[in-house]
Amino acid sequence: SDEKLEVFKKSSDEQINAIRSEIKGYQDANKQQLNVSLGVLVTAAVAILVSVILSMNN
């Protein structure tokens, strides 16, 4: 029965690790997505700012 327990513990550890790495991968993907979104937002904000300044100068 000790052997069964060891096998059970080992397999649940493996599952936990698999889930952990999945979560980490998901978080990394989210970070990249966030960076892309932030980049787009910043670019848009700069473009708006520039066009406002240009129209004020005219």
Distance, in Å, from the CA atom of 29 to the CA atom of 37, rounded to the nearest integer, reads 12
Distance, in Å, from the CA atom of 42 to the CA atom of 40, rounded to the nearest integer, reads 6
> Residue 35 above 80 pLDDT?
yes
Split at pLDDT 50, 70, 90, the class of 57 is confident
Distance, in Å, from the CA atom of 41 to the CA atom of 56, rounded to the nearest integer, reads 22
> Residue 41 above 90 pLDDT?
yes
Q: Which residue would you say has higher pLDDT here, 57 or 10?
A: 10
Neighbours of 35 (CB within 10 A): 10
Mean predicted confidence (pLDDT) in 14-31: 95
